């Protein structure tokens, strides 16, 4: 395996958790490197379902080292709850290391995220992003303006309190003047954060050093992406309807300290159809009853927020883009079983924009609002794939569906997800 990255190729929710859990069998170290608890990764082990928000799916393999990398932002109370929840189910997190440089989601980040969405919604709501309200935009904004707090700051109570006094002067002005909300008390905030810092301390460490040592010792390292390529703050579709981090493969380097030439394989997770939560363009969206039925069949409701996801047909124009941006070496096609009962399956092969056929993503993503998908229609396979164990005898229509995808993007499909359970993963030759 050496170093393998798993990246979402769509708008998140491609089923990365299950893929990471599957690949983690061969890993020594599993790392999450960007975002925060806006993610929700679901892994079903036998009859038990685990939902992870901050924690890498590697924690379910207790003997592996799991890392929350320096590119992440953590909400310390929720993180402790997540750890305690797993402990309560017999899963020790003793091999978890939280980067001392991960940023802290502060109470005002959560408030700003919520209040700013309300402000954007004032009027016609067209400016609303539809965030998960986990404080992600505000925490990464503070990181960039160098006004943030990091996990290591909790080990220095005097400096932490002093800086918080200073920072809260500005934040309280925004809270009271702009949002007409109550100010926060610096003493109370410091007390609860320093207290939670004590509880987190056993897990905190220098994750870059651990990763460098792992590379030196040729350990197998698995990089677990969160969100998806099309939500990337720079390369997503389209600003501002994005998350405030880098879910593309380049983000793994920034969020872990691993150099680009040390990543050997980049697996792109592709859901057999596509979904999106929140606002923004979505050319193949199915807004009708058929879409609603597909949403239910695929259980397309947010793990982190419970919101219904918008769903649509697979879009090869967007996939080609994701292949290039991430340098994908392999594709994992997930949730194939969700399409089992469909007599016909559609795949967008190109767009028609202003009377012209476009096969690759237009340079100006604003054009997407006017994109009409040009579909290829394939016969469905109409068999239950959930019991498939090998790729030796795939039904012909399914094999054709896979060929259409892998030939369009020139990347092999090496794994198929055919159900929610850990064992429902088929390795293809």
C-beta of 325: minimal distance to ligand IMP in Å?
A: 17
Task: Output the smallest distance, CB 236 to ligand IMP, in A.
Answer: 9
Among 105, 231, 342, 398, binds ligand IMP (CB under 6 A): 231
Whichever of 100 and 307 has its CB closer to ligand IMP, that residue is: 307
| 224 lines the binding site for ligand IMP (CB under 6 A) | no
- The reply to whether 243 sits near ligand IMP by the rule CB under 6 A is yes
When asked if residue 130 is in the footprint of ligand IMP (CB under 6 A), the reply is yes
Catalytic residue among 13, 113, 232, 337: 13
Q: How far apart are CA 319 and CA 349, in angstroms?
A: 10
Torsion angle of C-alpha atoms 67, 70, 75, 76, degrees rounded to 10: 60
Q: Rule CB under 6 A: choose which of 34, 37, 38, 256 binds ligand IMP.
A: 38
Distances from the Cα of 194 to the Cα of 103, 104, 150, 229, 342, angstroms? 14, 12, 12, 35, 54
Residues 308-337 that bind ligand IMP (CB under 6 A): none
User: By CB under 6 A, which span of 5-13, 183-191, 205-213, 311-319 interacts with ligand IMP?
Assistant: 5-13
Task: Name beta bridge partners: 298.
Answer: none
| 12/268 with CB nearer ligand IMP | 12
Interface region with ligand IMP, contact rule CB under 6 A, candidates 26-34, 89-97, 238-246, 375-383: 238-246
Give the active site residue among 41, 54, 103, 109: 41
Is 41 catalytic? The answer is yes
What is the distance between the terminal CA atoms of the chain, rounded to a whole angstrom? 16
Q: Which of 277, 317, 345, 350 binds ligand IMP (CB under 6 A)?
A: 277
Return the residue nearest ligand IMP (CB atom).
278
Shortest Å, Cβ 103 to ligand IMP: 14
Is residue 100 annotated as part of the catalytic site, yes or no? no
Distance of CA 309 to the CA centre of its chain: 14
For the annotated catalytic residues, the residue numbers are 13, 41
**Which chain residues interact with ligand IMP by CB under 6 A?**
11-13, 38-40, 129-132, 134, 136-137, 226-227, 231, 241, 243-244, 277-278
């Amino acid at each position: 395996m050496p170093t393998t990255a798993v990246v979402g190729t769509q708008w998140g929710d491609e089923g990365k958790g299950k893929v990471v859990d599957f690949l983690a069998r061969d890993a020594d170290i599993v790392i999450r490197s960007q975002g925060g608890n806006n993610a929700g990764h679901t892994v079903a082990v036998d009859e038990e379902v685990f939902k992870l928000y901050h924690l890498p799916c590697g924690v379910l393999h207790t003997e592996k080292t799991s890392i929350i990398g320096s590119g992440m932002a953590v909400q310390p109370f929720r993180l402790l709850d997540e750890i305690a929840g797993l402990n309560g189910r017999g899963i020790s997190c003793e091999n978890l290391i939280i980067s001392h440089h991960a940023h802290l989601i502060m109470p005002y980040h959560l408030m700003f995220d919520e209040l700013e969405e309300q402000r954007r919604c004032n009027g016609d709501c067209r400016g609303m992003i539809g965030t998960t309200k986990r404080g992600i935009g505000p925490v990464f904004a503070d990181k960039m303006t160098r006004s943030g707090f990091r996990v290591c700051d909790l080990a220095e109570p005097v400096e932490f309190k002093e800086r918080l006094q200073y920072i809260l002067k500005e934040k309280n002005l925004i809270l009271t003047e702009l949002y007409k909300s109550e100010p926060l008390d610096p003493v109370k905030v410091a007390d609860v954060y320093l207290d939670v810092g004590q509880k987190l301390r056993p897990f905190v460490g220098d994750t870059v050093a651990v990763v460098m040592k792992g590379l030196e010792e040729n350990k197998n390292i698995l990089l677990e992406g969160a969100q998806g390529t099309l939500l990337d703050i720079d390369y997503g579709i389209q600003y501002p309807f994005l998350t405030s981090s880098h879910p593309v493969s380049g983000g793994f380097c920034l969020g872990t300290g691993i150099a680009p030439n040390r990543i050997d394989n980049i697996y792109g997770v592709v859901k057999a159809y596509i979904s999106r939560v929140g606002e923004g363009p979505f050319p193949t969206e199915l807004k009708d009853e058929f879409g609603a039925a597909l949403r239910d069949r695929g259980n397309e409701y947010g793990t982190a927020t419970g919101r219904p996801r918008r769903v649509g047909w697979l879009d090869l124009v967007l996939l080609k883009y994701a292949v290039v941006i991430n340098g994908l070496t392999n594709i994992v096609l997930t949730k194939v079983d969700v399409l089992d009962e469909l007599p016909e399956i559609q795949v967008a092969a190109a767009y028609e924009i202003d009377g012209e056929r476009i096969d690759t993503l237009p340079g100006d993503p604003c054009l997407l609002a006017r994109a009409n998908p040009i579909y290829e229609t394939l016969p469905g396979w109409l068999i239950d794939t959930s019991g498939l164990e090998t790729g030796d005898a795939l039904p012909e229509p399914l094999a054709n569906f896979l060929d259409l995808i892998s030939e369009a993007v020139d990347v092999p499909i090496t794994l198929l997800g055919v159900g929610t359970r850990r064992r429902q993963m088929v390795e293809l030759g």
